[in-house]
């Protein structure tokens, strides 16, 4: 077996002192690094004295700076605003209830709103608005002591808290009230509900005012809520990393290559196959026949290259050239939990933004597009001298007033004729009537009429 060895011996260095720089291990938790999310370096500062005189000045300072990749700190703060309005359709005066039902921040019944001249086209007469009924989507009554206000603008979130820590709650509500009012073609001359200015076009015997809203226990007005802060602390560095690096580098090792040719002994007795011993990093290398120190050097084997054709084994000794402190740190933290942080503005817009602020939904939509049930008492069709201009003279009018029928019948004691009923004489509807022309010839027409009756 032929052995050859080429060895480079590192000049021995004696370490006289070792100091951890003040910005090393604790730097990544300082205000500077956490606010800027910068990676803190591991800095080994030391002085060395070379035994080979004349190469270096005694006690010359050296440093090895190794940036370590650590996850920086992050803070997430959630804020939201609720704009709320008192639910004035229950309790209070008629004027307050009407104003709530007419307002955009209330029931949004536009026709109840006051006109530009301070009067109304819809007037309630002697029938003031009553308290509305408030139920949830299942028809169960809602306790307004727990949900006194309506959310007009903003979006409710479970993390919102009132002063003292009380949870902000919200519930969808259906609000309804039955009203009696008359509609006119012009605004009243006064704000009075009994004003009769203009021509009456419709009178509701009962009309349901109805809306869907979201109720809450949040206070009236605009309130800003701040959610609990979510703080992700920066990753902690490996304990004693700088010291361990120094310790591993302070003990000098041999560096070089050693080549072995092992063809085996095919003609021996017994015969020996080639490459009987495979050398790897689990071994150390000691060499005899050279310097005395080599016999017990325990050289670190960093790599082995085996040629199966020529039976050559090349052994590399010394520190691994490809491993640096950063690699060591990565291996030690291989199983760490690494949080994936996505800026909220990136998720919302695709672009990064300062502060990562993203607006929450601003409006709480209501369902007021479908009018409530109406039972009309009177409908009036009017023709004006100038069509659609109620300030011009009336040129024609059809007044369909159920109350007029009741007034006529109440003035006498009607008796239904044969074939008519008590209900028929109170109901005006299209009926076929037989009439005659001037010559006495009969013919038929259809008219709006009640059933026939006689009276004393």
pLDDT tens figures, 247-285: 776 777 788 888 888 888 777 778 888 888 888 888 888
pLDDT tens figures, 293-306: 888 888 888 889 98
Three-state DSSP at 296 gives helix
Q: Residue 194 in contact with residue 122, Cβ under 8 Å?
A: no
Tokens standing for 203? 């009178």
Angle, CA 120 vertex, CA 116 and CA 126 arms, to 5°: 160
Residue 14 has pLDDT above 60, yes or no: no
Please, what is the average pLDDT of the chain? 75
**pLDDT computed for residue 445 by the predictor:** 93
**pLDDT computed for residue 147 by the predictor:** 95
Mean of the pLDDT values across residues 110-136? 85
Q: Residue 38 in contact with residue 56, Cβ under 8 Å?
A: no
**pLDDT computed for residue 345 by the predictor:** 56
Mean of the pLDDT values across residues 430-454? 91
Higher-confidence position of 347 and 451 = 451
Q: Residue 111 in contact with residue 122, Cβ under 8 Å?
A: yes
Q: Which residues contact 75 (CB under 8 A, 6 or more apart)?
A: 229, 230, 231, 232
Mean of the pLDDT values across residues 9-23? 30
Residue 323 has pLDDT above 60, yes or no: yes
**pLDDT computed for residue 115 by the predictor:** 74
**pLDDT computed for residue 4 by the predictor:** 40
Distance CA 108, CA 110 (A): 6
CA 206 to chain centre: 43
Residue 196 has pLDDT above 50, yes or no: yes
Residue 352 has pLDDT above 90, yes or no: no
Higher-confidence position of 168 and 18 = 168
Quickly state the pLDDT bin for 97 (edges 50, 70, 90): very high
Which of 79-93, 184-198, 423-437 is predicted least confidently?
A: 184-198
pLDDT tens figures, 133-186: 999 989 999 999 999 999 988 888 888 889 888 989 999 999 999 888 888 888
Q: Which residue has the tokens 């996505």?
A: 342
Residue 76 has pLDDT above 60, yes or no: yes
**pLDDT computed for residue 341 by the predictor:** 55
Q: Residue 449 in contact with residue 424, Cβ under 8 Å?
A: no
pLDDT tens figures, 197-254: 888 888 877 788 888 899 999 999 999 988 766 666 677 777 777 777 777 767 777 8
Residue 336 has pLDDT above 50, yes or no: yes
Distance CA 333, CA 320 (A): 20
Selection from 53, 48, 43, 42 nearest residue 17 by Cα:
48
Mean of the pLDDT values across residues 363-367? 53
pTM exceeding the 0.75 threshold for the entire prediction: no
Quickly state the pLDDT bin for 430 (edges 50, 70, 90): very high
Percent of the chain having pLDDT more than 90?
18
Residue 49 has pLDDT above 60, yes or no: no
Distance CA 25, CA 14 (A): 25
Tokens standing for 189? 């001359």
Mean of the pLDDT values across residues 349-363? 53
Residue 47 has pLDDT above 60, yes or no: no
Angle, CA 301 vertex, CA 15 and CA 322 arms, to 5°: 70
**pLDDT computed for residue 349 by the predictor:** 56
**pLDDT computed for residue 16 by the predictor:** 27
Higher-confidence position of 369 and 186 = 186
**pLDDT computed for residue 155 by the predictor:** 84
Mean of the pLDDT values across residues 339-351? 55
Q: Residue 24 in contact with residue 242, Cβ under 8 Å?
A: yes
Instruction: Identify the helix (H) or strand (E) that includes residue 250.
Output: helix 241-250
Residue 191 has pLDDT above 60, yes or no: yes
């Amino acid at each position: 077996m032929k052995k050859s060895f080429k060895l480079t011996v590192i000049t021995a260095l004696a370490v006289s002192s070792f100091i951890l720089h003040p910005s090393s291990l604790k730097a990544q938790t300082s205000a500077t690094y956490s606010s800027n999310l910068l990676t803190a370096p591991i800095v080994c500062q030391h002085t060395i004295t070379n035994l080979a005189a004349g190469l270096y000045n005694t006690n010359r300072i050296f440093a090895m700076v190794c940036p370590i990749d650590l996850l920086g700190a992050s803070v997430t703060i959630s804020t939201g605003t609720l704009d709320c309005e008192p639910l004035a359709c229950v309790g209070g005066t008629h004027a307050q209830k009407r104003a709530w039902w007419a307002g955009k921040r209330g029931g949004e019944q536009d026709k109840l709103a006051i006109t530009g001249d301070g009067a109304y086209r819809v007037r309630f007469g002697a029938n003031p608005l009553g308290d509305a009924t408030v139920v949830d989507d299942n028809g169960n009554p809602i306790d307004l002591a727990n949900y006194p206000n309506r959310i007009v603008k903003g979006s409710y979130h479970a993390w919102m808290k009132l002063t003292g820590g009380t949870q902000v709650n919200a519930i969808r509500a259906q609000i309804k009230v039955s009203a009696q009012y008359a509609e006119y073609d012009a605004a009243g001359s006064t704000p009075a509900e009994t004003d009769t200015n203009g021509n009456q076009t419709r009178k509701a015997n009962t009309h349901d005012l109805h809306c869907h809203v979201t109720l809450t226990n949040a206070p009236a007005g605009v309130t800003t809520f701040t959610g609990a802060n979510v703080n992700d602390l920066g990753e902690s560095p490996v304990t004693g990393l700088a010291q361990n690096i120094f310790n591993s580098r302070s003990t000098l090792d041999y560096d070089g290559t050693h080549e072995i040719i092992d063809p085996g002994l095919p003609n021996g007795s017994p015969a020996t196959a080639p490459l009987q011993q495979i050398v790897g990093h689990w071994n150390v290398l000691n060499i005899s026949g050279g310097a005395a120190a080599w016999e017990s050097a325990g050289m670190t084997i960093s790599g082995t290259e085996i040629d199966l054709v020529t039976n050559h084994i090349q052994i590399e000794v010394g520190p691994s050239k490809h491993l640096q402190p950063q690699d060591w740190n990565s291996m030690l933290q291989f199983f760490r939990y690494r949080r994936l942080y996505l800026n909220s503005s990136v998720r919302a817009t695709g672009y990064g933004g300062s502060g990562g602020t993203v607006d929450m939904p601003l409006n709480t939509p209501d369902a007021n597009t479908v009018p409530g049930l109406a039972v009309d008492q009177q409908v009036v069709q009017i023709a004006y001298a100038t069509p659609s201009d109620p300030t011009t003279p009336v040129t024609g009018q059809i007044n369909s007033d159920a109350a007029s029928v009741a007034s006529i019948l109440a003035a006498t004691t009607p008796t239904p004729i044969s074939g008519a009923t008590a209900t028929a004489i109170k109901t005006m509807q299209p009926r076929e009537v037989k009439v005659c022309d001037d010559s006495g010839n009969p013919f038929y027409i259809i008219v709006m009429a009640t059933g026939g009756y006689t009276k004393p």
